[in-house]
Amino acid sequence: MGDNMKEKTKKMIQIFISILLFIIVIIIDKCCDFSIEVRFCMYLVPYLVSGYDVIIDAFKGLLKMEMFDECLLMCIATFGAFLLCFVPNASPEFIEAICVMIFFQIGELFEIIAEDDSERSINSLIDLMPSSANLEMENGKVKKVKCESLRLFDTIIIKKGEKVPVDGEIIEGSTSLNTSFLTGEAIPKYARVGDNIMSGCINDGDVIKLKVMKTYEDSTASKIIEMVENSNEVRSNSDKFITKFARIYTPLVILCALILALVPPIFDKNEVLWINRSLSFLIVSCPCALVISVPLSYFGGIGAASKKGILIKGAKYLEDLAKVNTVAFDKTGTLTKGNFEVVAIHPNVLNEKELLHLTMHVESFSTHPIAVSLKDAYDKYSNVKDKCKVKDVEEIEGLGIKATVNNEVIYVGNEKLMNQLKIKYNKCNRVGSIIYVASNENYYGHIVISDQIKEDSYNAIRDLNEMGIKTYMLTGDSEEIAKYVSRELKIYKYYASLMPKDKVKIVNKLEKANDNRVIFVGDGVNDAPVLSRSNLGVSMGGIGSDIAIESSSIVIMDDKVSKVIDSINLSKKVNKIVKENIILALLTKFSVLGLALVGLAPMLLAVFADVGVTILAILNALRTLKL
């Protein structure tokens, strides 16, 4: 940001001095009768002041064999206008040449201002991270330290109004947190002892003590900043096309300009006329408007999305969102709240408390929402710690968990697990997630756990249906639950009882059938394989998980399904602005190129076709910041 400010100030001073010298030279030229050589030297001063950096860049480009950039074209055209003074019967175009350079610098200034505005939008995220933290020392005193020096399990104090510097667990106090920097929503979140909170939140309530659970570099806000800063590395297809277009278009125009300057004079002997036309032709040919405005539009769109709590990893993903015609959702934690509750306990050999107790022990090492609900349910029965010994815990992918409890191997999982182990069990027909519990010798019973559909999911699916976008649901849950949720939300089609690899296969199949215009939306933890392998993977509410950021193309920083629609709509608006700039630039350039061929485009009109259109395209691109 500081470098941009210096560059902007430097450019403004350069333009001001250039214009001032230009006016002085014109006045002196009008008042005195100088020779052409003296006039050449006089006008050369404001020309060099206004264009010295362009000349330097053109020379560097020549050394690097980059012969077709706008700086070289500008130098050839403007210096050619100066050299007309030494051509017999030609009228030098000093004023026009200097105007070209000054207008070019004004265009550069607008580009710097536009980039500055875009970067300010992106860099506002850096405010998520404070520079220091209040570290509690072993003697009880508090010392202000740099956030980078914090270590795992340090204790820090967050005062009212302060930002949370690192992810951690509250060990003392309770408070209200402002999460708007993370989620784009100004809804306060209540937090108390035992709750995990993310860096970037603002403490709006009482003083709290936090145990550091992630270092500064690994904290949520740092990951967000890193992700957004790297977003310009993933270029859009439009941007790549413009780059390829410029590589072919620019040398082709230079060749046309040379032909225009050399061939027609053979027949009509008017060299000056055709040299003037070729110089105008060169100025018009610069593809500045396209090269600048297209990436700037996507950069601004990514900044606008970040303000809404939507992190997009690159311009390509923002561009692709506009083409989406199919959305596939995970169920648990995405369309549903993921807040499971035990609604029924059906023991077979044990009593209800014993069955719940046994199940809880097997699930005690899992962080899955179902496991958490079992622990919560057991706490209602008893908060007394027992002496059960649990070891050899092993997750069986897509089926359940195996563990040894007091030297007995216990299996906890779904029907597939029971069938695979050939255990006779009592099938439960209630709607919900059915957790079956058994050992090699006994079937102990099952527990029914239920989840709730998010209110936001109803609106989101309805809006997607109205937009003509097909919706799918992919879940590892049973057929009964999948059918119920699908019917409630009016989802086009669902797939149930899926393992992670099954989701990957289905999404790949959907992508092939729908020309890669498919989004997969998951919780960012259990769906990492399909998120990472999808063309467009969206993590929902999983911003606290490193794997969510690493595996997704897009991260929605809260649990609102409707933000998928917000991201699609934003993408369509950004792509519309990009198309407007491309059409404006190409139509203007080709029109003026045609006029230049027939001698109806003087150099100043050529300047407008280049610099003027560039400024208009930049101003149009800046609209993306306000979306």
**Which residues are designated catalytic?**
330
Across 348-469, where does the E strand assignment appear?
390-396, 400-405, 408-413, 433-439, 443-450
Distance of alpha carbon 173 from the chain centroid: 35
Q: What is the largest CA-CA distance in the chain?
A: 115
For residue 282 the two structure tokens come to 């060169």
DSSP for 78-111, please give it. Answer: HHHHHHGGGSTT----HHHHHHHHHHHHHHHHHH
Name the strands in the sheet holding 188-191, side by side, starting at the edge strand that comes first in the sequence.
188-191, 175-178, 202-203
Q: Cα separation of 376 and 363, whole Å?
A: 12
Q: Cα separation of 461 and 562, whole Å?
A: 8
Q: Cα dist. 253→378, 590, 593 in Å?
A: 77, 11, 9
Which residue shows structure tokens 């040449």?
Answer: 97
Q: Cα separation of 91 and 82, whole Å?
A: 9
Which residue shows structure tokens 């069938």?
Answer: 419
What contacts 215, CB < 8 A, 6 or more positions away?
A: 150, 151, 152, 166
What contacts 280, CB < 8 A, 6 or more positions away?
A: 77, 596, 601, 602, 603, 605, 606
Phi, then psi, of 343 in degrees rounded to 5: -110, -15
Which residue shows structure tokens 């690994």?
Answer: 218
Task: Name the burial class of residue 311, with classes exposed (0-12), middle (13-18) and buried (19+) by CB atoms within 10 angstroms of its CB.
Answer: buried
Q: Cα separation of 261 and 264, whole Å?
A: 7
Rg (CA), the chain: 33
CA dihedral 537, 543, 544, 550 (to 10 degrees): 40
Which residues face 188 on adjacent strands? 178
- 3-state DSSP call for residue 173? coil
Contact criterion met (CB below 8 Å) for 477 and 332: yes
